[in-house]
């Protein structure tokens, strides 16, 4: 079939894409109305930090979200698909220090650049709802909620140990301490006790853990990570009496937490955290102990040190009495491996069944007694030397517990000790402990949301009165000195006490930026409301987010904080639900080959040319022709220079090609390898679709639907509706790589159908081809929206395909009249058999046994059994 030569023009993405973006903008078709009566669908991608330019990870993330948004819109939903900026944070301050630009100017310039980049991707976003967390119109509400949380008992001020950088004069997060040194200054980090603000997330430990089971549209992996992070363990709090002759001051007992009360008869020592009050009390009388505790404090910030740190202890001289035998005295050690903020900061050590305790006793010669014996183990040969036994078994060497299982022994110990009282209190009680700690939100930083608190020498710590909100960041600050610019601002921090009117001081700490991102999804539902953080009507309407999409790196912190924050908002009346994200999808990274020059420097993909001959690939620098080594495929990063700039791809191939390639091949949860060949393949397909649609547009079809369809026409219609069914199902399940494959298949089938036309097109086939063309364009529209508009127009439609409904499936076209079943003999495929769709088992069996291939495979033997699985397979067992 020949085509008009004018239709042979290539599709020009660079010209077409801005044109269609403008058309969408002018018609405002992506603006969401809060009074839209259709069923709601809220799709959200994790909003970006305005670092400067978008990267390929953003392209992947936002493409996926956009496919879902466009699909749901076509399915008749009122879709909320907003975008904003996680705009507070350290990089802006670093830029201020390095380049003398104000953080605010730097941030807003980046936002402008990145917004233009996102717009060039053709995303169907409602930009009218755009928010930036550094805007006082946003953080004012965050301050209001902080005060509400404070009133509701969800915020607390307490002392805590922090990593302190003495050069930059700021607190560092654990991730910012590298090998014991500050990541910016390189100074040795100190441990300091500071008074900080905390959100009481640990009050919700149990709820946050239990509710994970209700999040059935979250990846199992993320739920598991959160479960481990919350870290629930059941155990027993036991009060040990101390030997009065050995105790300093008025201490008389020591409370410990254990999950293994069954091993109580294997105890060899008691351990105290260096921060334990009893350790401090003992140190007051013992300078050597005090020195040891000091030594412990100096170490222990750097991860590497903790990994390799030797178990060290110091005998306090105090002796504890065994709860079941007052005559049995246990030495009380201060030990460097015991944490103050878990349990009670004190343990009893059972070396035979705990590796750390074993390492400890082996160093100090305290010995061990096994009390759990593995099933089938000979008691006489059961000795623990260097490896503790933490498996199952029977109790031994344990008096009244002997012979019991671990579970029985735990229960027996708990029962005995919780019914025994001392000073009107039970000696032991059951307790559930969580690893999750309260969320410290104080940062000694400028570029963050100010904590709305005033410190008055007379009246104490006071909230800023609501009428004075927002507490705005002053803009006249300097970054020439280390430390927090707010702290040395001449006027900002000096205020009058709202209670007594005397001189008072503002809180100069700002909030952790994770606070900003813990509620932005709620603000999107009505970003205009000025007198409250949220409009309850809109929050109730739109939340939870139906589909949240982002990187796995946020599996714990951001997602856990948001879950807590939503609960806190519920308690203070700002929201009505517990779980903000009904569906979560974590996408994989974008990775790329690395290229290394002879001198060891990395080369950028854009500067490298790849040649292939046979199976060998060779990379050379375009500029000089120097051969570079092709290295392993790694996450795109500045350090390895294996990044590809989205702008370059948009420029040379267009947004649709980039979007299509991002969705092809790799399943969305896995890493995708960005390759030049892959992009070219996607670009080829864009042109192929354009030609194919051009050919269909040339077909003269009757207005009316024909009453009858011939074989060729029916085949086209079946291919179209099968593709429709498959693609719909796969988009709904976010299996974009399969959508892509099905669209390829469909385009291949259509291409063959048109190529097979020899003379004139019959009216029924012409009609079927036009129908198939319309379906094809609407199917790929969510992935390649600009090309789809261009094709839709070429097919003669006047409306935008972006506001067209999804095609109607005709299910009867999915049903075949005859089916071809594979035929196995003894489990090996030998033939196919084609039978009517509703053929009975006996008919199929007869047809199968008549096949030559089956007779041959049976070698004259008669079959023992014929298994016929309807619609699936036939297996002949000889």
Partner RNA sequence: GCCCCUGUGGCGGAAUUGGUAGACGCGCCAGACUCAAAAUCUGGUGGCCGCAAGGCCGUGCUGGUUCGAUUCCGGCCAGGGGCACCA
d(Cα 126, Cα 82) in Å, to the nearest integer?
5
d(Cα 129, Cα 526) in Å, to the nearest integer?
8
- Compare residues 578 and 669 and give the one whose CB is closer to RNA: 669
Q: Which of 664, 768, 787, 789 binds RNA (CB under 7 A)?
A: 664
d(Cα 766, Cα 748) in Å, to the nearest integer?
17
Footprint of RNA on residues 285-324 (CB under 7 A)?
300, 306-307, 309, 311
Residue 875 binding RNA, by CB under 7 A:
yes
Q: Which of 178, 741, 849, 858 binds RNA (CB under 7 A)?
A: 741
How far is residue 236 from each of residues 78, 332, 412, 427, 814, measured CA to CA in Å? 53, 19, 12, 10, 62
H/E element holding 196?
A: strand 190-199
829 neighbors 851 (Cβ within 8 angstroms): no
Q: Which of 151, 159, 624, 820 binds RNA (CB under 7 A)?
A: 820
- Sole window of 338-346, 456-464, 468-476, 697-705 interacting with RNA (rule: CB under 7 A): 338-346
- Compare residues 803 and 820 and give the one whose CB is closer to RNA: 820
428 neighbors 256 (Cβ within 8 angstroms): no
Residue 677 binding RNA, by CB under 7 A:
yes
- The 3-state secondary structure of 640-707 reads CCCCCCHHHHHHHCCHHHHHHHHHCCCCCCCCEECCHHHHHHHHHHHHHHHHHHHHHHHCCCCCCCCC
How many other CB atoms sit within 10 Å of the CB of residue 256? 23
Q: Which of 336, 398, 587, 657 binds RNA (CB under 7 A)?
A: 336
- Compare residues 258 and 368 and give the one whose CB is closer to RNA: 258
Interhelix angle for 785-794 vs 13-27, to 10°? Answer: 90
Residue 822 binding RNA, by CB under 7 A:
yes
In 122-259, alpha helices (H): 136-151, 205-210, 220-230
Q: How far is the CB of 751 from RNA (least distance, A)?
A: 6
Residue 380 binding RNA, by CB under 7 A:
no
- Label residues 116-136 b or e (16+ Cβ within 10 Å = b): ebbebbbbbbbeebbbbbbbe
- Sole window of 151-159, 566-574, 639-647, 683-691 interacting with RNA (rule: CB under 7 A): 683-691
Q: How far is the CB of 750 from RNA (least distance, A)?
A: 11
Closest CA to 67 of 602, 788, 608, 644: 788
Q: Return the structure tokens found at 300.
A: 């222990």
Q: Which of 164, 198, 240, 685 binds RNA (CB under 7 A)?
A: 685
- Compare residues 146 and 269 and give the one whose CB is closer to RNA: 269
- Compare residues 70 and 223 and give the one whose CB is closer to RNA: 223
Q: Return the structure tokens found at 323.
A: 């709860």
Residue 751 binding RNA, by CB under 7 A:
yes
Q: Which of 345, 452, 646, 782 binds RNA (CB under 7 A)?
A: 345
Q: Return the structure tokens found at 9.
A: 């023009």
Q: How far is the CB of 356 from RNA (least distance, A)?
A: 5
Footprint of RNA on residues 471-530 (CB under 7 A)?
none
- Sole window of 158-166, 365-373, 678-686, 719-727 interacting with RNA (rule: CB under 7 A): 678-686
Q: How far is the CB of 559 from RNA (least distance, A)?
A: 12
Beta strands in 793-827 (DSSP E): 818-825
Q: Which of 65, 182, 323, 343 binds RNA (CB under 7 A)?
A: 343
- Compare residues 132 and 723 and give the one whose CB is closer to RNA: 723
Residue 780 binding RNA, by CB under 7 A:
no
Q: How far is the CB of 418 from RNA (least distance, A)?
A: 16
Question: What x/- string results for residues 539 through 578 when contact with RNA is judged by CB under 7 A?
Answer: -----------------x----------------------
Residue 667 binding RNA, by CB under 7 A:
yes
Q: Peptide bond before 470: cis, by omega within 30 degrees of 0? A: yes
d(Cα 182, Cα 412) in Å, to the nearest integer?
50
Give percent helix, percent strand, percent coil of the chain, each to the nearest 5.
40, 25, 35
Residue 675 binding RNA, by CB under 7 A:
yes
- Site residue total, RNA (CB under 7 A): 85
569 neighbors 142 (Cβ within 8 angstroms): no
d(Cα 224, Cα 216) in Å, to the nearest integer?
12
- Sole window of 129-137, 348-356, 394-402, 760-768 interacting with RNA (rule: CB under 7 A): 348-356
- Sole window of 21-29, 245-253, 351-359, 404-412 interacting with RNA (rule: CB under 7 A): 351-359
Residue 687 binding RNA, by CB under 7 A:
yes
Q: Which of 19, 363, 684, 855 binds RNA (CB under 7 A)?
A: 684
Q: How far is the CB of 413 from RNA (least distance, A)?
A: 12
- Compare residues 539 and 549 and give the one whose CB is closer to RNA: 549
- Sole window of 424-432, 537-545, 750-758, 793-801 interacting with RNA (rule: CB under 7 A): 750-758
């Amino acid at each position: 079939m020949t085509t008009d030569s004018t239709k042979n023009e290539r599709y020009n993405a660079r010209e077409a894409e801005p044109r269609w973006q403008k058309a969408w903008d002018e018609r405002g078709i992506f603006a969401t109305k809060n009074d839209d009566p259709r069923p709601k669908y809220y799709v959200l991608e994790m909003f970006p930090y305005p670092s400067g330019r978008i990267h390929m990870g953003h392209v992947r993330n936002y493409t996926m979200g956009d496919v879902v948004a466009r699909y749901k819109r076509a399915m008749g939903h009122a879709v909320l698909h907003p975008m904003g900026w996680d705009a507070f944070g350290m990089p802006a301050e670093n830029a201020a220090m390095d380049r003398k630009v104000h953080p605010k100017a730097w941030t807003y310039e980046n936002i402008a650049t990145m917004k233009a980049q996102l717009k060039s991707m053709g995303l169907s976003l409602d930009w009218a709802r755009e928010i930036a967390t550094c805007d006082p119109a946003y953080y004012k509400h965050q301050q209001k909620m902080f005060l509400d949380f404070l009133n509701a008992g969800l915020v607390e001020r307490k002392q805590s140990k922090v990593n302190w950088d003495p050069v930059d004069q700021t607190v560092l997060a654990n991730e910012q301490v590298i090998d014991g040194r500050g990541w910016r200054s390189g100074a040795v980090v100190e441990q300091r006790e500071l008074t900080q603000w905390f959100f009481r997330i640990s009050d919700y430990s149990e709820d946050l853990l239990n509710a994970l089971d209700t999040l059935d549209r979250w990846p199992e992996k993320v739920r598991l990570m959160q479960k481990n992070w919350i870290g629930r363990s059941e155990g027993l709090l036991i009060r040990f009496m101390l030997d009065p002759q050995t105790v300093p001051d008025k201490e008389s007992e020591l409370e410990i937490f254990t999950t293994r009360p069954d091993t109580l008869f294997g105890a060899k020592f008691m351990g105290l955290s260096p921060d334990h009050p009893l350790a401090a009390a003992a140190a007051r009388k013992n300078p050597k102990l005090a020195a040891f505790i000091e030594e412990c404090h100096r170490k222990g910030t750097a991860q590497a040190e903790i990994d390799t740190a030797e178990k060290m202890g110091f005998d306090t001289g105090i002796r504890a009495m065994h709860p079941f035998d007052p005559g049995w005295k246990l030495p009380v050690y201060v030990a460097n491996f015991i944490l103050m903020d878990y349990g009670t900061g004190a343990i009893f050590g059972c070396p035979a069944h705990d590796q750390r305790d074993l390492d400890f006793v082996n160093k100090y010669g305290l010995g061990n007694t096994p009390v759990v014996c593995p099933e089938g183990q000979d008691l006489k040969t059961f000795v623990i030397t260097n490896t503790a036994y933490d498996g199952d078994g029977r109790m031994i060497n344990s008096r009244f517990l002997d012979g019991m299982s671990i579970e029985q022994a735990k229960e027996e110990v708990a029962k005995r000790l919780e019914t025994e009282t001392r000073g009107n209190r039970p000696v032991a009680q059951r307790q559930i402990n969580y690893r999750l700690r309260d969320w410290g939100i104080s940062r000694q930083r400028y570029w963050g949301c100010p904590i709305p608190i005033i410190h008055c020498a007379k009246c104490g710590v006071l909230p800023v009165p609501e009428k004075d909100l927002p507490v705005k960041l002053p803009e006249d600050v300097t970054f020439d000195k280390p430390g927090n610019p707010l702290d040395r601002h001449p006027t900002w921090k000096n205020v009058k006490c709202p209670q007594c009117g005397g001189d008072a001081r503002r809180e100069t700490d700002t909030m952790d930026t994770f606070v900003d991102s813990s509620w932005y999804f709620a603000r999107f539902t009505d970003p205009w409301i000025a007198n409250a953080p949220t409009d309850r009507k809109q929050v109730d309407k739109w939340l939870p987010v139906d589909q949240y999409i982002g990187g796995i790196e946020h599996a714990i912190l951001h997602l856990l904080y948001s879950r807590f924050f939503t609960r806190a908002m519920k308690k203070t009346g700002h929201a009505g639900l517990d779980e903000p994200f009904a569906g979560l999808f974590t996408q994989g990274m974008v990775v790329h080959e690395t290229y290394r020059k002879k001198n060891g420097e990395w080369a950028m993909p854009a500067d490298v040319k790849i040649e292939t001959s046979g199976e060998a690939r060779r990379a050379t620098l375009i500029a000089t022709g120097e051969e570079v080594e092709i290295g392993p495929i790694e996450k795109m990063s500045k350090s390895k220079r294996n990044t590809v700039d989205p702008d370059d791809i948009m420029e040379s191939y267009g947004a649709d090609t980039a979007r299509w390639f991002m969705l092809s091949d790799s399943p969305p949860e896995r890493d995708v390898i960005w390759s030049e060949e892959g992009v070219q393949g996607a670009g080829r397909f864009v042109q192929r679709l354009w030609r194919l649609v051009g050919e269909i547009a040339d077909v003269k079809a009757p207005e009316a639907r024909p009453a009858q369809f011939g074989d060729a026409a029916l085949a086209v219609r079946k291919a179209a509706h099968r593709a429709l069914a498959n693609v719909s199902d796969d988009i709904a399940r976010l299996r974009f790589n399969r959508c892509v494959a099905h669209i390829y298949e469909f385009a291949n089938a259509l291409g063959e159908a048109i190529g097979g036309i020899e003379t004139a097109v019959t009216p029924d086939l012409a009609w079927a081809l036009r129908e198939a063309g319309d379906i094809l364009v609407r199917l790929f529209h969510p992935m390649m929206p600009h090309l789809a508009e261009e094709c839709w127009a070429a097919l003669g439609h006047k409306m935008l395909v972006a506001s067209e409904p999804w095609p109607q499936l005709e299910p009867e076209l999915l049903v075949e009249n005859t089916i071809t079943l594979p035929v196995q003999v003894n489990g090996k495929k030998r033939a196919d058999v084609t039978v009517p769709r509703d053929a009975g088992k006996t008919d199929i069996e007869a047809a199968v046994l008549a096949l030559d291939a089956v007779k041959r495979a049976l070698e004259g033997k008669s079959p023992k059994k014929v298994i016929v699985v309807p619609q699936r397979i036939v297996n002949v067992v000889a």
